[in-house]
Amino acid sequence: MTGGFRKKIRQKNTENSGFGTNASGRFINKDGLPNVQRRGVNVFNRLSWYHTMLNLSSFRFISYLVIAYILINLLFAMIYYLIGVEHLTGIDKSDPLNEFIDVFFFSSQTFTTVGYGRIAPVGFLASLVATFEAFLGLLTFAIATGLFYGRFSRPRAYLRFSDIAVIAPFQESSALMFRLAPYKNNALTDADVIVSVAIEVIENGIPKSNFYRLNIQMSKINTLALNWTVVHKIDENSPFYGFSEEDFKNTDIELIVQVRAFDEVFSNTVVQRSSYTTGEIVYGAKFVPMYYPSKENLTTVLDLDKINEYKKEDLPDSTGNKE
C-alpha cells in the first residue's frame, strides 16, 4: 500500500490476517485470490495446473482446449508430412496444400480415435506415430473430461459483490456498508461474513499495515436469497472512529471480505472473498434498494443491475445533526 496522509490509529493491531505488516499492494484481488507473487521455484512447481484450469472463465477454458487441440494436430500433421505422404494411403496428391490438409484431418481422426478408414498409415514409422497419437488422444480426452466434470461439479458460492463500499448514515451516526447477492439459483443457507481491514500507519517513520476485525451488525443470516447489505457501525469501537471524509480519501485502507455459506444442493460449505480499497469507498452515499415486488405482487424481483447504485446522502456530525 502506498499513499499520502496516514491517520494515526490508537487501537492496537487486533487481527491475525495472514499477511505481513510490511506487505505492499492490494492484499486480496477483486476475484478473491491473494495478490501474492511467488518466486524461487519454477513455473511448473509454482502453479497448480488443475486449480488454474478450474478457475478459468468458461470462454478461456474452451478457447484453451480448442487451441491445444489444433496445435497438437498441426504438430502431428507436420510429423506425418516429414515422414512422407507416400506412407499414408488415400492422400490427395494433387498439390502440397491438399496433401497437408489431408494429413491434418488424418491426424485429428487418429487423435480422436475416429478412424474413418480413407487414409491409413503404411509402414512401421507412420504406424508408430499413429499409435502414439491415438494413445495421447485417449489420455488428453480423459484429462479434458475430468476438467469438465470438475468445473461442472465444483460447489461455488456464485455471489456478486458491489464494486464499491459506502459510508452511509446509520442510527444517528454513520456506517461502512457494502452489499452482495447470489446471481444463480443455488440455495445458500447459514451464511456468515468476516470483514477485516488493513490500515496503513506510520510507526517510527516506517509505513506498516495494521489489521483489525470489524464488528458487523448482522454477521450471520439464515438464508441468502436476496441481497445482503453488510453494515459496520462506526462508533468508538471502530478503527474508523473520528475519520473525516479527507481521512477516508487520504488513508490507505483495504477491506478484506470473506463470506461462507452452506450449499444445500452439494451439501457442502462454499467460500467467496473480495476486497475494497480506498478508491472504492464512497463517502456520504447510500445504496438504493435493489429488490421490489413483481407487477402481479406474487414474487420478489431481485435486480442485480442495481447492486452498485447509490445516492448521495449527508452524514450526521458528532452531535447527530446532518452536515
Q: What domains lie within the chain, and their CATH numbers?
A: 43-153 (1.10.287.70), 159-312 (2.60.40.1400)
The cell for 220 is 450471520
pLDDT number for residue 3: 43
CA-CA-CA-CA torsion for 160, 164, 165, 167, nearest 10 degrees? -150
CA-based radius of gyration for the chain: 29
Report d(CA 101, CA 105) in Å as an integer: 6
Report d(CA 188, CA 83) in Å as an integer: 58
The cell for 141 is 480426452
The angle at the Cα of 12, spanning 6 to 17, to the nearest 5 degrees, equals: 85
Report d(CA 253, CA 89) in Å as an integer: 69
Report d(CA 117, CA 113) in Å as an integer: 11
pTM: 0.76
Is the CB of residue 173 less than 8 Å from the CB of residue 236? no
pLDDT number for residue 214: 94
Per-residue pLDDT in tens (0 to 9) along the chain, 323 residues? 444 444 445 455 555 666 666 666 678 888 777 777 777 777 777 778 888 898 888 999 999 999 999 999 999 999 999 999 889 998 888 888 989 999 999 999 999 988 888 889 998 999 999 999 999 999 999 999 999 999 888 888 999 999 999 999 998 899 999 999 999 988 899 999 999 999 987 777 777 888 999 999 999 999 999 999 999 999 999 999 989 999 999 889 999 999 999 998 888 999 999 999 999 999 999 999 999 998 898 999 999 999 999 999 888 764 345 55
Eight-class DSSP state of 215: P
The cell for 181 is 447477492
Eight-class DSSP state of 95: S
The angle at the Cα of 293, spanning 292 to 297, to the nearest 5 degrees, equals: 175
